[in-house]
Structure 1
Amino acid sequence: MAIEENGFLEYLQLQDGVPDLVTKSELIARVRAEGYPVSDRQLTFYVSEGLLPRSVRVGSRAGAYPSIVIDLLTWILRARDGGVPIEALKELLPVWKFLVRARTRRELDLGELEYVARQHVSSTEGALGVARLVIDVMSCYCSKCRSDIVIVTKSGAKMLMGDSTSTVGFAVARTFDDEEAGPTPRWFASTRVSLASTDRPSSDPTTVILGLKPNEALPPDPEDERSESCDQVRESVPGG
């Protein structure tokens, strides 16, 4: 049976065969619980843009989605809040799918990540969003869950994602028109990040907190919530 691009079956496969479904109302409620207000109209818009799969009837459940769509819609709304344009999100969607598969098998191959990103992401906005996307997807696991995820470097060396000394670099190149040499590739931006978890983000002295005014109260420590989420992920993923 052919799998429609961005279709229901493709996203069901991203769950490693786990038949966990949510209705439209459950999807909206779960995403709102993550702090992102979303409406029926927005849901329809993202489906029409090809960023979300269409719902299907499964047994008595009309309008059902694979539960992984909760993560997908949350990422889309978070990226939109950060100013990522729709066209860049479309470029990044194949990278998101690759990262979800990598997270499930608990191995992130940087050579494969680079190939997928360079194959699908062509805009500067999209390229600048890859590092943030990697952090978003791989950080879905709590520190205990991702401590055994392996990062495979382009040279074949392996390192544990949970090790704070393990970092991944991102470099963005652009082609500029040189009057003498013609189109010339040049480095545009670069950064290096750690995917390891910070156990106490609000009290860690090496963490710079952003997004709130200087005198505003900080959110509660999310460690307990991550531990609960960790247990739920392990129960839903075979072999977890």
Structure 2
Amino acid sequence: MTVEPNGFFEYLQLLDGEPELVTKSELIARVRGAGYPITDRQLTFYVTEGLMPRSVRVGSRAGAYPTVVVELLTWIRRARDVGVSIEALKELLPVWKFLIRARSSGELILGELEYVARQHVTSVEGSLGVVRVVADVMGHRCPRCQKDMVIVTKDGERRPMNSPETTVGFAIARSFEDEDGASTPDWFAATRVSLAFTDSHSSDPTTVILGVKPNEALPPDPDADRSRDCELEEAATT
């Protein structure tokens, strides 16, 4: 069987276990339930742009998608909300797929992540977005997702992802043309992040809280909505 790139069967094979399907209406309802507005027209646009697979008829289920597409569309909407361009999302899509496979396998191999990212991500916007997509997929709020995850460094060391001491560095280089037209690489930006799950968002003295005014109320404890996140993750990985 030939698997079409970014097609239905590729997404069907992304995750281990018995695949499950959702209809278009179920897909839209789940993404809206996660807090991200989506319309039929937007969904069609993402399919046309190659960010989403086309649905297929499976038995009596017309317009069906693999359940992992729920997470895909949620990631797209979350990225669009913070201004990530369609072009950058196209560059990042292979990285997202790699991370989903890595999460399913239980290990994030940094050498392979670097290869996939350097192969597909060419813009500065896309390079900056790699950090966000790694944190989005691997730093999921459901602690079950990280229970046995390990990070494999480029020298082969295995480190538990859920340890705050385990961090991943990102260094971005770009090329500049000098007066003679020669291309010279230089470092552009660098950062280091922890992917460990935390439920102490507001009480952690090392956490900088953003998105609300200084005197506004903070969101409720993550325990209050963690069950919803676990349900969404279970639906996407079953």
- TM class by shorter chain equals over 0.9
Q: Deviations over 1:177-201 (max 9, x none)?
A: 1225821000000000000012221
| Residue in 2 that maps onto 1:147 | 147
Q: What residue number does 1:189 align with?
A: 189
Question: Hey, what does 2:81 align to over in structure 1?
Answer: 81
Number of equivalenced pairs: 238
Instruction: Select between 211-220 and 50-59 the one with higher mean Cα deviation.
Output: 211-220
Judge which range, 139-148 or 210-219, deviates more.
Answer: 139-148
The match for 2:130 is 130
Q: Which amino acid aligns with 1:28?
A: I
Q: Is 1:205 matched with 2:190?
A: no
Deviations 1:81-128 (A, max 9, x none): 111110110010000000000000110000000000000000110001
Structure 1: state its 5+ residue gaps.
none
TM-score in terms of structure 1 length: 0.93
State how far apart, in whole Å, the 2-side matches of 1:36 and 1:72 are.
12
Aligned mates of 2:17, 2:3 — CA distance in 1 = 14
CA distance in 1, matches of 2:50, 2:209: 34
**SS of aligned partner of 2:210:** coil
Inter-CA distance 13–35: structure 2 relative to 1 (3 Å threshold):
same
Q: Please say which of residues 140-149 and 77-86 is displaced more in the overlay.
A: 140-149
**Counterpart Cα distance in 1 of 2:200 and 2:31:** 24
Gapped runs of 5+ residues in structure 2?
Answer: none
Q: In the TM superposition, what is the alpha-carbon distance from 1:211 to its structure 2 partner?
A: 1.1
Moved more, 42-51 or 174-183: 174-183
Give the 3 Å change call, closer, same or farther, for CA 49–22 of structure 1 in structure 2.
same
Paired-residue identity, %:
68
Matched-pair contact (CA < 8 Å) for 1:200–1:223 = no
Distance 1:124 1:232 in 2: 31
TM-score, with structure 2 as normaliser = 0.94
Provide closer, same or farther for how the CA distance between residues 234 and 73 of structure 1 changes in structure 2, counting only shifts above 3 A.
closer
The 1-side partners of 2:228 and 2:67 are apart by 17
* TM-fit CA distance, 1:226: 3.0
Taking a change above 3 Å as real, the CA distance of residues 86 and 145 of structure 1, as seen in their structure-2 partners, is closer
Q: Structure 1 CA distance, aligned partners of 2:236 and 2:34?
A: 19
Which residue of structure 1 aligns with residue 94 of structure 2?
94
CA contact (8 A) 2:22 2:67 kept: yes
Contact 2:8 2:65 survives alignment (8 Å): yes
Matches within 5 A, 1:28-177: 28-140=28-140, 142-177=142-177
- In structure 1, distance between residues paired with 2:53 and 2:85: 19
1:230 Cα deviation after fit: 4.1
Distance of 1:125 and 1:54 partners within structure 2: 27
State the match for 1:2 in structure 2: 2
> How many Å apart are 1:202 and its aligned residue?
2.5
